[in-house]
Structure 1
């Protein structure tokens, strides 16, 4: 029996090619490009700095467990758009921060820093319809201008593919993530003032503004 001179038989080459094709076929890439409406409501009277880290802006979730196919899910751009849109509508002024805590503008009264803690999704294993469920959890941090912690709280969001009539799993998962991000935005918008420490901060700010508007009390005449 003759052996190939290069040490790799045609059968082995075919096997390697087949394995490569199978890996490619079982790999999914999802990029979420969310477009989120700006909430409309009364703004909190604060000048707020918003710091979105590079990890947050470029976040990609990688799923490579033994019982699942490979998934690469890019949500960085979408969650950046979401938080900039929602936070931008919540306060009288917001300032994007490229660095923190360095170079903080003097008029910033509060700095908000979101971090993504967890992204999970369920796959449609038992049926052929492309419906996914998604859970996203964010750790929210608020700091004073000196870098001291003011408040920390958690946002948990849920989303589900709104229709089963999508041609691909990638499109179905992207829609579910968009629904979850909208849920996160709504929770951030409605829940900010319910965080006890932030509720107290807003009350103090409103009290200071009221005293400033009323002006100094008139001096009482002396006898």
Structure 2
């Protein structure tokens, strides 16, 4: 039996092309790759390991709900840059760890491991205000070299940007995310010593260092 393939009519081709363009128009990709300045201030006298997991370094948020257009938002590179920059400025020595908890350098006194808990955003048509808003929440974890948890706290960051002078929705959302990431960095920098468990940890380290210094001076005096 032979089958004949009927050629599509111009009207059918136009319909297919229109639907393809419509589907493409409803899909958005955002690649955030910001660079962030190092905070300036006194460094804490600690040697700290920084572990950014593969999921953290390559984090992608995907929105695919029925009442929204499709969004694919990659913040991995940007948040890697942010956390490495801020944490490196906070301590006298930092070490980037390729794995954890194995193979921790002997001089590391504390290991910090951030994780993305959630990313949320709103669009102008949802709020009836001509801005994009972004919220990012990070779970922060600090461990001693043996893997025992020292502290666990949460950082919540917020960013918004008007769309009026930006060329696209993607550009507006990228700017809002970068503002949220800067907010996360500022909160990390200013709030670290306010975490009660970290206050206790730092006090213990300072007492230990002072005692060691006293012993050294005493031995020299003898």
Calculate the TM-score normalised by the size of structure 2: 0.90
Where in structure 2 are the equivalents of 1:115-154 lying within 5 Å?
115-125=115-125, 131-154=131-154
Query: Residue 146 and residue 69 in structure 1: after superposition, are their counterparts in 2 closer, same or farther (change >3 A)?
Result: same
Which of the two has greater helix per residue? 2
Q: Work out the CA distance in 2 between the residues paired with 1:130 and 1:174.
A: 15
The alignment partner of 1:161 has SS state of strand
Mind listing any 5+ residue stretches in structure 1 that lack a counterpart?
A: none
Task: Tell me which moved more, 182-191 or 127-136.
Answer: 127-136
Q: Number of residues paired by the alignment?
A: 216
Pairing 1:46-85 to 2, within 5 Å after superposition: 46-85=46-85
Structure 1 stretches of at least 4 aligned residues deviating more than 4 Å after TM superposition:
11-14, 126-130, 216-219
Q: Residues of 2 paired with 1:127 and 1:109: CA distance?
A: 46
Does residue 5 of structure 1 match 2:9?
A: no
Which deviates more from structure 2 when the two are superposed, residues 20-29 or residues 127-136?
127-136
Query: For residues 30 and 163 of structure 2, what CA distance do their matches in structure 1 show?
Result: 18
Deviation at 1:5, TM superposition (A): 2.4
Correspondence for 1:19: 19
RMSD (Å) for aligned C-alpha atoms: 2.2
**1:125 shift after superposition:** 0.6
CA distance in 2, matches of 1:200, 1:207: 11
Of the structure 1 ranges 77-86 and 7-16, higher mean CA displacement relative to structure 2 is found in 7-16
| Gap runs ≥5 in structure 2 | none
- Cα pair distance change 1:217/1:60, threshold 3 Å: closer
Match of 1:96 in 2: 96
1:125 is paired with a residue whose SS is: helix
User: Aligned equivalents of 1:216 and 1:208: distance in 2?
Assistant: 12
